[in-house]
Structure formats: C-alpha cells, structure tokens
C-alpha cells in the first residue's frame, strides 16, 4: 500500500497537495436528505409535492426541507457535472464531498464526476446524525466503528475500492446522543491511526461545538486537523466564537448562498446573510485566525443549483471573493482561506 503521508486522497487516488488549488471544503454533489423532511404547516401541505417550477421556487427557497423532490440531490448528476465544469472555469480546483453513511453517499458517482470534469473530489468516511444511524450501527462498539472508518479510508467505501480522504461530515445532534458520542470517539481513534483530516457537523446550539471538541480531545483527536462546520448558524456571540477559536480547530463558514427568513431546523436562529458572513470572517482575520478559516456553500438541496435558479458551486469564487476584496480582505488572505488552509487540512500527517 502506498504511503498516505504528505498526500491528499481523492476518489481517483493520491495527489500532491499543491495540485488542489481553490478548494470548497464542505459540499455535496450527490445525496438524499429525505431523512430531514420537515412537514409544512397544514395549509401549505400541497406545496410539498410536485415538481420544482418558477412559481414555487421562492417558497422552496424559504422552506427547502418541506419540498420532497428538493431533497433528492442525487437525481441531478448531469446538472452537477455541468456546474463542476463551471466551477473549474471560475478557478475552482477541488471539492470536499461531505456525504457520509446515512444520507446516501455514492462514491461511484463521485469518481465518475471527477473523471469527467477534472475537479479533484475528496470523499467523506463515517456517519451522519443519529436519526440516520441503522440498528446495526447503534449496537456497535467504538472499536467496530473505528474499523469501519479506517477501512473506508484505507480500502474503499460501500463495497468499492474508491477511498475516502477525510472523516466526515460526522453528524451530531443537540443534545448529543449516545450513538453519536461513540462515532465521535471512533473518529478520534481513526484519526490518531491515520493522521487524517476530520470534519464535524455540530448540533444546533452554541454549546454543541465545545462539547464535541471536548469528547474528541479526550479520545485523542488532533484538533489542528479538525474542522467545525456550520459556525454561521451555531455560534453568534462574538466573545463565545473567539473563545471557541482558541481551542485550535478550523472554523468553517459554509452556508454561503443561504439567505433565509426562518431556519426550519431551528426557529431561534436568524440565519445570517452573506454580507454578515464576510464581516464575521473579517473579524476572525483581525483577531489573528486567518490560518484557521475555511469557506464553502454546503449545497445539499436542488434549489441551490444553478439549474434551479440557485447560486451554485461557483458563488464564492464569482460573487463572494470580489465582495471580500471590496471589504478590505487582501487577495493574499483570500488565497490563504481558499487554497492554503484547505491544502494543509487535507494533507495526511502520517500512515
């Protein structure tokens, strides 16, 4: 077996980290989000069925999890392929595809997309939130879960020889469940064997990222190679965010393009706008965290694809980067966030 140390593992094999270029560190290219359907209020039930059309697109944008067809991203491989070519033309180089067991990971399709577009695709090992854990997973020991994760990276995922290059997104709920806690411990054990990158989906509470980091740390994880996703909808208080930053993991703002009035999974949250995300990143840079910031869109529903009037995988490159420059963030720092930080994170430390 060739050594992973100093390399990045894509679905097409090992590459030199310098080959990646601009990298989106949290996206989905094919998945199903049926698990997280939110029934609409009784007067809007009819809207959850049927096809996506111009006249219901705004409703779907505001209620993305209440429209059944919108949750089936796996039906859009042709549109996704076209978008990846668009992403590449806009200067994109690599995409971390965070789909894990529970939301229909499909590494064969990822391999095909990588071959057909030339975009580097890195697949995710491990398990999504508790609601998607099978009865078999629930009764497994930490050691058994660790073996599965290690195997997905060293031998291949889902019965193929296509290997994952990161662990995650590892799904956590709030409050964290027993099964999720075991998966977190297994993640840390697998990471200490492999020296590999890890990425976490925290529960929707500002204490959740802290609790997760504590569990990972106690189980021996390498926080310098661990990403906390979705901070844009999780920690709002600036002081608390800076306190979290001190723990040493990567801080990911990965819901770029999402502008909602009501966040269906947590009505207490006022989802920030892209301008507010940029202001947050600017604040983190001013506080000295430029080595720790990552950005992405976390596309996981159809309505966010360009084919359905959405922003697509190139939104950050085409619209957010120019706005960052206007707000005084230098090209140097932008390159750090989009090229250098992902490269450092994705490179295996040993094995």
Please tell me the count of residues contacting Zn ion according to CB under 5 A: 3
Number of Cβ atoms within 10 Å of the Cβ of 108: 15
Nearer to Zn ion, 209 or 285 (CB): 209
Smallest distance from the beta carbon of 298 to Zn ion, in angstroms? 5
Instruction: Give the binding range for Zn ion (CB under 5 A) out of 78-86, 91-99, 216-224, 270-278.
Output: 91-99
Residue 169 marked as a ligand binder:
yes
Residue 311 marked as a ligand binder:
no
Nearer to Zn ion, 10 or 301 (CB): 301
CA distance 101 to 134: 10
CA distance 114 to 158: 18
Classify residue 135 by burial, with Cβ atoms within 10 Å: 0-12, 13-18, 19+: exposed
Decide: 132 and 35 in contact? Cβ < 8 Å: yes
3-state secondary structure 154-173: HCCCCCCCCCCCEEEEEECC
Residue 297 marked as a ligand binder:
no
Number of Cβ atoms within 10 Å of the Cβ of 220: 12
258 binds Zn ion (CB under 5 A): no
Instruction: Give the binding range for Zn ion (CB under 5 A) out of 92-100, 145-153, 158-166, 305-313.
Output: 92-100
Residues 65/68/70/74 CA torsion (nearest 10 deg): 120
| 122: three-class secondary structure by DSSP | strand
210 token code pair: 């802290």
Nearest to 194 by CA among 350, 344, 346: 350
23 binds Zn ion (CB under 5 A): no
| 312: three-class secondary structure by DSSP | coil
Smallest distance from the beta carbon of 109 to Zn ion, in angstroms? 17
311 token code pair: 């922003």
Instruction: Give the binding range for Zn ion (CB under 5 A) out of 10-18, 121-129, 165-173, 244-252.
Output: 165-173
Nearer to Zn ion, 96 or 215 (CB): 96
Instruction: Give the binding range for Zn ion (CB under 5 A) out of 30-38, 264-272, 274-282, 294-302.
Output: 294-302
130 binds Zn ion (CB under 5 A): no
Q: Which of 9, 98, 191, 314 binds Zn ion (CB under 5 A)?
A: 98
Smallest distance from the beta carbon of 302 to Zn ion, in angstroms? 15
Nearer to Zn ion, 7 or 87 (CB): 87
Nearer to Zn ion, 32 or 98 (CB): 98
Which residues are CB-neighbours of 41 under 8 A, at least 6 positions away? none
Residue 230 marked as a ligand binder:
yes
Q: What is the residue whose two structure tokens read 């906390």?
A: 228
298 binds Zn ion (CB under 5 A): yes
Smallest distance from the beta carbon of 212 to Zn ion, in angstroms? 15
Instruction: Give the binding range for Zn ion (CB under 5 A) out of 45-53, 74-82, 164-172, 331-339.
Output: 164-172
Nearer to Zn ion, 4 or 172 (CB): 172
| Whole-Å CA distances, 127 to 100, 103, 166, 179, 209 | 5, 9, 12, 10, 17
Which residues are CB-neighbours of 132 under 8 A, at least 6 positions away? 35, 101, 102, 103, 171
Smallest distance from the beta carbon of 100 to Zn ion, in angstroms? 9
Smallest distance from the beta carbon of 54 to Zn ion, in angstroms? 27
Which residues form the interface with Zn ion (CB under 5 A)? 98, 169, 298
* Residues tagged in the binding site annotation for a divalent metal cation: 26, 28, 169, 201, 230, 298
């Amino acid at each position: 077996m060739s050594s992973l140390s100093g390399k990045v593992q894509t679905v097409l094999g090992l590459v030199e980290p310098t080959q990646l270029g601009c990298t989106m560190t949290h996206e989905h290219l094919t998945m199903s989000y049926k698990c997280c359907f939110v029934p609409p209020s009784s007067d809007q039930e009819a809207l959850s069925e049927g096809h996506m059309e111009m006249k219901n697109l705004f409703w779907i944008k505001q209620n993305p999890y209440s429209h059944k067809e919108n949750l089936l991203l796996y039906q859009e491989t042709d549109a996704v392929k076209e978008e990846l070519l668009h992403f590449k033309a806009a200067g994109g180089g690599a995409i971390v595809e965070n789909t894990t067991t529970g939301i229909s990971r499909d590494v064969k399709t990822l391999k095909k997309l990588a071959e057909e577009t030339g975009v580097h695709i890195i697949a995710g090992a491990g398990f999504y939130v508790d609601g998607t854990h099978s009865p078999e997973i629930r009764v497994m020991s930490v050691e058994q879960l660790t073996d599965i994760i290690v195997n997905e990276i060293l031998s291949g995922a889902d019965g193929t020889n296509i290997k994952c290059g990161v662990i995650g997104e590892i799904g956590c709920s709030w409050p964290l469940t027993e099964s999720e806690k075991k998966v977190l411990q297994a993640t840390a054990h697998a990471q200490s064997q492999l020296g590999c990158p890890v990425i976490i989906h925290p529960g929707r509470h500002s204490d959740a990222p802290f609790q997760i980091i504590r569990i990972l740390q106690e189980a021996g994880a390498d926080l310098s190679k661990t990403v906390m996703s979705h901070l844009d909808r999780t920690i709002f208080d600036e002081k608390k965010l800076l306190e979290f930053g001190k723990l040493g993991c990567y801080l990911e703002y990965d819901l770029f393009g999402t502008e909602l009035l009501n966040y269906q999974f947590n009505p207490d949250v006022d989802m920030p706008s892209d301008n507010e995300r940029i202001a947050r990143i600017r604040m983190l840079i001013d506080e000295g965290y430029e080595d720790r910031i990552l950005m992405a869109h976390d596309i996981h529903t159809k309505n966010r694809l360009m084919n359905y009037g959405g922003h697509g995988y190139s939104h950050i490159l085409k619209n957010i980067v120019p706005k960052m420059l206007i707000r005084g963030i230098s090209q140097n720092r932008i390159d750090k966030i989009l090229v250098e930080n992902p490269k450092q994170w994705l490179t295996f430390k040993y094995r």
